[in-house]
Structure 1
Amino acid sequence: TELHQVKRECKVHQGSVENLQLTVTTHQETISDLKVLAVLEGMLVVLEGVLDVSGGVLAVLEGMLVVLEGVLAMLEGILVMLEGVLVMPEGVLVMLEGMLVVLQKHLEDTVAELRSRVASLQQELDNSEAVQKDFVRLSQSLQVQLERIRDTDMEVRWQHDEDIDECQGCHTSFSVARRKQHCRHCGRIFCVSCLSHTVLSGPHQRPSRVCDVCHTLLVRDTAPYFSTEPPHTPD
């Protein structure tokens, strides 16, 4: 009778331990989700700051360009006036014309330089807009990834080979040459190219292949997988 009592208590304690392990796993995944979202929000704040500064500098340069073009028009008017002053000594007239040519050349060079700067800044703004589009794609991709991670709490993670026809990363169809590989963390199916990362797991530290998202979540001191290039646009 005491032996049966001990066995029942062991089963109860074992169930409690499994429940605690499930709770810890759920909290760890929630923390990982929050870390990825925090990285995205920080990068978006930096991009908005760059766009604000670039827009202000462009406005200042355009204002300076307008002022210099007005000065150039004024100097051209002075040149016309000097050409009409024929009664002045020829030497003085030549000297003034020379000074005017020098000033006009300097002003034209300055205007050309400003135009070049404005064009360069416009290119930077265009690049910033392209970066912003990449961030939108990144945000959409991360949202899809996070939703998939959250959905795994309500379903079996391991994907079966017969259920998947294309890589979950690059969406390329599988074939004899492109075989199916499982991520050892999330259980999803990828091609070999999209499963290039490995992490050490278990008491014997065996190397296990994982996808980009799981590698970012499992290896804390590594750069996020989206820091080198924007992720694939989600379907």
Structure 2
Amino acid sequence: MFSSSGFSLVSAFTDDDQRLNRSQKIHRENERANLLTITRIVLRAFLEQTMAENNRILECDTQQVSDLLMMLEKVLWHGFKAPGQKALIVLKSPDAEMWATIVKIAKTDAAMLETATCVDQIESLLTPISRLRAFLRLAMMQKKLFDFYTVISSSPLLKIFYEDWALLRQEEIVQLTGALLGLSVVDCNLVLEHDHLQEQPLSVDLSLYIRIPTLPTEGEDINSANGTASHNKEKKMLLDQNNYLEERNRQLHWYHSKTSITLKTANRLEAKRKNGKKNGSDYLDRQIVEREDSLRIVQQQLVDTKKINTDLYDKLKLADEKWRKLEKDLARVREQYAEESQILKTTISKLEMSNAVLQENVQKRNENDQAIREELEKKYGQHTELVGILQEKQNALAQAESELLVLRRKVDSLEKELKEMPFLKEEMRELSEKYACAAERAEQSERALEELGGHLSESKLRMLELAEELLPLSDAHWANDSDVTQCTACSEKFSLSKRKHHCRMCGSIFCASCSEGRIKLPSNSKPARVCDQCFTLLKNRHS
């Protein structure tokens, strides 16, 4: 009915856009319906046998488990189109293309990606088909076949890797996916060896699942059935408890993740409102404390539940081993079974008592936490008042320190002035002596001025004479160097070798030969350069 790898050569080398005729459509529909029907028959037979025998723990592969996993593998292969198979040179096998597709789809779900990564890390699995089969077995052991097939059937990548008529792209896959949820009641431990996975049969013997009704045979061992009925009932109860604890464990995990998200949200809100009002900050602090307490309580409950689950699972395994021994010696095992039942009942009663004690402790702890919160609120109020008082004291202290600093500066200045007093007295005495000397000199100067009064009148007359003599020269002005290009006396042009010289008397510009004379002027005590004309005039005046 199917090829060895589930890959259709027709779909690999035909155009995806080619329209199917009526016979091909009917063939595809029949093929899809047959695959879905056979898969559901195998799944239903497996679940019915498991429930009828009350044996929900599988320690190895059975014929029905192998057939069920093979049918689920064929569902994955149905309508699969490998992109690399249309090329002239095929680089990957269809098995490798299928495993690569599963890995790509798994990247959209964290749990599925973790399982696929775990399979890839198994070094003994050498071929892609062995990895694919190991993935299905590992998902069944993890009770996640329903989740993984739901992710695959709802993935948007199906349009790329599967034909339109593939079972995974039809609405009927929802029925099969929902039926896989019943596998969560079965605990199994399957083989993941490469040789075992590589040599799995590619067909299913339908004679094991399609049965012809027959008349019941007489002479069945009614006593043996009655003997094991109570044991099966007890074992079913333990399995139900195990499933309940697993479901409770899953709920606690969900509540733990929800509480973690709530705690992170509260932390972010607390960080955003940190600069807000103090009342809002206090409310967030109390909210975070309550969430942390709830998270701590839930974590403790989760640890206790895991411990109880582990103990019950170990005891369930022990009870199963004892049940196998009962098949060999029923009489001896009945007594042992009664003892084990009593032990289990005692253990359950103890656990219930421990649970009641734990609940009382939790209630007391909550009451203590409430009292501590009230006391903490009072302490917060007292702390606020003390902080206000401390702030006032600090302000008063700062003001007193500033006043003390001003007073210290005044004291330092006064001490400095006090130290300088002896020097000021000494300086005052020296100034008094200098004043006396200056007064004496002033008197001498007044007497000298009186003596020079007569000489001053003579000098005044002399100054009048000099003013009359210098009157002709009063109109003289200082000549500008840039305006004069030749000597005023000899009219020779100035050059680099013939320099310009001003007459200090008339202000005109002459050459060196025409201004060789030097004589004392009234405005200057030292002899100054004058022209020949002014030199002759001044010399006659002095003589």
**TM-score when scaled to structure 1?**
0.47
The structure having more radius of gyration, on CA atoms, is 2
Structure holding more helix per residue:
2
Identify the structure with bigger relative contact order (alpha carbons < 8 Å, sequence gap 6+): 1
Q: TM-score, normalised by structure 2?
A: 0.22
